[in-house]
Every structure is written in C-alpha cells, then in structure tokens.
Structure 1
C-alpha cells in the first residue's frame, strides 16, 4: 500500500455503533474513516464514489443483510471485510458463513455498553484494520487438484531439551521405554485460516493421522466452525474436549478462549484443554500447542503453520523441527496474511514452504512414512 491512510468504510444500522467505532479509529496514525453508512444500499453509493481499503460490516442489517452484501462484494470486487457483530458474543452460524464467504476477521460487539466496549476493544479494532489492509482477499477457498528468545509458551509449558519419559504417563506394569508409531498433525493459523483450513481438511481421507488444530477465533464460535467443517469433510472434525483421544481421521479444534495441548498416556495421544494466560496475545495459542507436540510426539509429528497475522507459532514450529518433526509453512502467494509463516521461515523452522493447494497432499504423504 502507499503512504496514504487506510480508508475505512463502516456499515452499521446503529448510529451509536458508527459513532463509537469511528471514535476508536479517530486520531490513529495511518487510518482514516472514509465514510459511514446505515445500510448496504447507502454503502454501495459511497463505494461508487470512492472505494475503501477496508470495510467494517455488521451482519444484522435492514434491506440487504450483511452476509448477502459480503457475498456480493466478494464476487464482484473482493475487498477486505471485518465483521463487527453482537452475534460473535454468543456464536452464530451466520458468522461461520461470513468467514467462509471471505471475511478476514471478526470483532465481537456487545448489544449494550458500547462506550465500555470502545475502551476494551479499540486496540483489537485497530489491529484488525491494519491486518485487513494487508490481506489478500478473493483467494480460492478450495484448492485445485493439481541467541534463542524466551519462548512465549514458557508460562504454560516449561522448556525441556528432549522428551523425558517422566512426561509420559505410563499405565501400571508398562515399561518406561515404550514407544509409539502413532503420528500426529498439528496445524496453527489465524487471519484467513478458516478458509485455509477448509481447503486442507476437506481434502483429507479418513486414514490420515490425527490432527490437533489452533485457529484464532472468538469464544462460543469454534464449535459451530468445527460443525461446519465436519459437514464438509470425510474426516471427523469437532471442538476439542479435555482428554479427547487423538485418532486417525479425527481433527480436534481448540475451543476459543482455551489453550490446547497434546499429551501422551502410554502409546496413546490425547489432548488437554485448559485455561491460562494469553500467549502472544492469544488464547488458544499456536505456540502452546506446537511446544506440547514437540515434547510429546517429537519425530512422530508433522507441523503446519498457515496464514495469519503476527508471529504466534513460529517458535513452536522451530521446536517441533528441532525435535525431528516434519514442518511446513504456507507460501506467501496463497496466504491471506503472510505474518505467521514468514516468521517461522525466518527462524528456519520450516522444512518446506508450500502453496495451500499442496498442503493436504503433503500431509497424506507424511502419513505414509
């Protein structure tokens, strides 16, 4: 982008919401509210005069609803869209559809207490706008056939150089030297990841190794996201529950607002779902998951870091790589936001850098090792 400010269009039928979001942006260097609109018809009039860099859009709108407007926009002139909706507070199938249609992120908006919301969420709104302005939208949702810094996950999972047999819970009478050949695939992603995960998971067979997944997503929303992917995929996809087994043909997605860790009991892998501090400003955190996979699965794992803003997961992927795991980073051309894969690549954490449409095949191949 040029040095001119990011031009933002706010579309919401509530005058108070338009005012509050505008105030959150006001005075922020490099961002400017281009216009506001009370409905999508007014918004199109504004956009015919001047096209925004980023659109902030409510779902529940009069006349043409926000979801229909989003689909129309993405089919005619793809533009980065941030959904700002109260539906995100409780979760909604409409928001799942919005992400599938191409929205780059979601900001939760309360039905009341908007001024307090401004104070709490202003930084999230600004960060979402800056990420959206860098995002590449309109990418296909499904692929064609064809000195070490302190690890941010330290508070939850202290570092160990190598897998210690004391880390593995062994059933009574079982040898401490017990090994397992079971494989695990760990995937971490953020902005643009809902579409990327759909592109990968819907191409995996039921024979694929068990998957553990972190997608940065609001609370009360991951269960519906998992349900949607489950309906589209041959494998089982669901929100992870504490002590769930990691099994071939099953993908466990970290619940919003909780960390997901891989653990091992004897020769079997399972997950731990737990609360804890934010790591890299996220909960769930990709770094937390990847560090646990490095410790408990080691060379039996494959790690994948995909599209997303920031650097969450880069250090964890490096630990997986150091532990002997195969590691993959999504390439820049197919990412909506290249931040997370770029940071992993800079650390030398990725064995391979692949376009989105080759990642599923690479995971299938890894399972044949």
Structure 2
C-alpha cells in the first residue's frame, strides 16, 4: 500500500518564490504541492476543494495579509503553517505575531539572491515542512498556566565547539536552568516563561530560530513575562529572574567565574545541523554547572541536545523532558528519553512548577 504524500499549499505573492519552493518540494518523494497561489483569497478558494496538510505562507501580501489568513485558518481548521518571511528586523517582528497566532516553523528568505538561496536551503525547507506535517497543534492551544497557581516552596557534534572534558559536580548555591527546544518551542517557551515569578533561577535558552528573529522573540517575551527576557550578548551575566535567549546564527555557552555564571556567544559551524545548538549549550552547562543545573528538553524535531543532556545527567544535573502528549513535535524529547538522558518526563503545564521546585 502506497503511503499518502504530504499535501503542501504555497501562498506567496511572488511568482518566483512559488516556482522555486514548488520545485524544491517536488524533489522529495514524500511531498506533493497541491497548490501554489498568490494570496490568501485564492488559497481559500482552492482549500474548499482540497485542504492541505501543511501551508507555506508569506506574511506581506495583497488583499489579505498572512497573519489575518493564519488566524482565520486556526479558528476554522487548525493546520500546520510554515512562515516564509524576509530576513529583516521588520519582518522578524511581524513573524513573531504569526508565531503567536499558531505558526510552527520559520523559513527565512533574503531580498536578493532569492532563487539561489532557496535552492541552497532545500534540505532546511523540506525538513521544516515535514516537521510541520507531524505537528500536534492541540496541546499548545489548550495549555495554559498562571504564575499565581505555582507553589513556591520554603551531525557535527558539540566537539567542534567545546571539547568533552571534566564534568563539574561541586554543588554550590548558584543555580541555572538550561532549556533547549525547536519546532513548537516558541509557544511552549511563552507558556513556561510567562508563568514564572520574578524570584526564579537564572535561565539560558536555545530555541532554534534564524538570525534577527531571536531579538524580536526575546522582546515579545519580555513584554509578556514577569521575569526579564533578553537576547544574550557575549559575557552577559546569568541572573535570577532573567532568561537569556541564544541569538540566531550564534552558539551560546555557559561559563562560570567563581560562584557566578555568564554566557559566551560565539561563531562556529552548525552543530547537530543547528546554530545555535542545544548540544553546545547543554555540554557547557554540564562542564560549568554540573549538579547546580536543571536541564529541560522540549518540543522539536531531531536529536539536538540529546548528547548534551546525557552529559548533564552524568554530571549530576536534574534532567527533564516535555511529554509526548503536550509536544507539538515529539522528536528531541523522545530521543533524549530513549538514550537515558532524561530523569523524568512531564506535561508542558507542569514545567514552570518544576523549575520553581528545583530552586527551592
């Protein structure tokens, strides 16, 4: 019996973009382009005849913008959406609105050299569409938790960035929480960080996201959270009541000076196909914090972070994974559980309480 192909609709006002994305997706035998249209109104007409499994959506289009279209889809029939957005500061801010509305992935496109860029990024584009097709949209839409409800108690591996070394197991009073996530992680992180009170341990985060988008993402979270949320800069201190988000296109490592922690933000090759890489962050946490750390791996496709989380556990850190039922894509957490890197799995809504319990 032949496996049903993933049906993909492309909605973009650029004929070049539609043609290039179509040709890229057609190179994969598991994908089929069921429509490529110039704007959301054309898309809605086509979707009445055949509803796609995944939509690749531009933001700025005539007659109806992508965000309005996305909100309409999510209200009518929730469908995985991959945003194909221009890599600009303005585009990043708008794309964050789309992520908030329910989009699960971001693909960036430059203003010049578009055709060559999309062909060079074929694996990324195909991977994003496949990851989106597996997305479970219900958990994020249904999940919520309030800070007031929390009980405060009295591929290339990471070797290319940071060599494996002696693990830190000395327990100190300074604690750090390290979170790694990918597909679906923007909504999951928003839920977790919004629920935390100001008296929370310092947090370092790798969310797979392109350059420029992490700044807009951090600013959005900062406007919503009691804790401070910032895009990390080189040598920035890790402080209680603050979350540092690794900037897109850079690796972030945790370092220790005495009893204090800070981050290094550096260049380097892709690790586990990503930059920033969760594996790089988690390995650095194992080496610099050891038993003083809590590691959390959340929704995402692939296995980035699995090796680093195992090293964290071996160093004495508490390691947790988001459970399958609450993940948009149960990829990274599944691999971490299967390799013995995780001490316990828990629903997304229980993650904020676990962070506070750890810090007591």
Partners of 1:89 and 1:109 within 8 A in 2:
no
Change (3 A) 1:151 1:363: farther
SS at structure 2 position matched to 1:139? helix
Match of 1:255 in 2: 247
Deviations 1:90-147 (A, max 9, x none): 752111111111111111112232321232111111111111111112433552457x
Task: Give the alignment of 1:70-219 within 5 angstroms.
Answer: 70-87=70-87, 91-141=91-141, 142-144=143-145, 152-163=157-168, 180-219=172-211
Tell me which residue corresponds to 2:329: 337
User: Could you tell me the TM-score, scaled by structure 2's length?
Assistant: 0.94
Task: State the SS of the aligned residue for 1:10.
Answer: strand
How far did residue 80 of structure 1 move? Answer: 0.5
Give the CA deviation at 1:27: 3.2
SS in structure 2 at match of 1:82: strand
Is the contact between residue 329 and residue 350 of structure 1 (CA under 8 Å) also seen in structure 2? yes
Q: What SS does the aligned partner of 1:92 have?
A: helix
Residue 265 of structure 1: CA displacement? 0.6
Which stretch of structure 1 is more off in the superposition, 93-102 or 230-239? 93-102
Superposed displacement of residue 302, structure 1: 0.3
Q: Shift of the alpha carbon at 1:30?
A: 1.1
Structure 1: 5+ residue stretches without partners: 165-176
Please identify, of 135-144 and 241-250, the stretch whose mean Cα deviation from structure 2 is larger: 135-144
8 Å Cα contact 2:140/2:188 also seen in 1: no
What is the aligned partner in structure 1 of residue 319 from structure 2?
Answer: 327
Please give the per-residue CA displacement for 1:229-256, whole angstroms capped at 9, x wherever unaligned: 0010000000011111111101000000
Question: Which secondary structure state, in structure 1, belongs to the residue aligned with residue 230 of structure 2?
Answer: strand
CA deviations over 1:281-331 (Å, ceiling 9, x no partner): 101000000001011111110000000010000111111111111111000
- Which residue pairs with 1:351 in the alignment? 343
2:167–2:288 Cα contact (<8 Å) kept: no
Q: 2:267 aligns with which of 268, 275, 300?
A: 275
SS at match of 2:256: strand
Secondary structure at the aligned position of 1:202 is classed as helix
Contact 1:74 1:138 in 2 (8 A): no
Distance in 1, matches of 2:224 and 2:126, equals 33
Q: Which runs of 5+ in 2 are unaligned?
A: 150-154
Q: What secondary structure does 2:140 align onto?
A: coil
- The CA distance in 1 between the partners of 2:4 and 2:219, in whole Å, is 41
Q: Is the 8 A contact 2:145 2:195 kept in 1?
A: no
Matched position secondary structure for 2:112 = coil
> Which of residues 228, 231, 242 in structure 1 aligns to 2:234?
242
Instruction: Give the length in aligned residue pairs.
Output: 351
What's 2:22 paired with?
A: 22
Q: Residue 40 of structure 1 corresponds to which residue in structure 2?
A: 40
Query: Could you tell me which of 250, 256, 267 is aligned with 1:264?
Result: 256
Matches within 5 A, 1:48-87: 48-87=48-87
* Separation in structure 2 between the aligned mates of residue 361 and residue 127 of structure 1, nearest angstrom: 33
CA distance in 1 between counterparts of 2:51 and 2:129 reads 15
Moved beyond 4 Å, runs of 4+: 87-91
Determine which structure has more spread, i.e. the larger CA radius of gyration. Answer: 1
In structure 2, the partner of 1:172 is none
Does the CA contact (< 8 Å) of 1:180 and 1:268 recur in 2? no
**Could you tell me whether the CA contact under 8 Å between 2:20 and 2:119 is conserved in 1?**
no
TM-score (norm 1): 0.92
Match 1:318 to one of 310, 313, 321: 310
Look up the match of 2:11.
11
Q: Distance in 1 between matches of 2:350 and 2:268?
A: 35
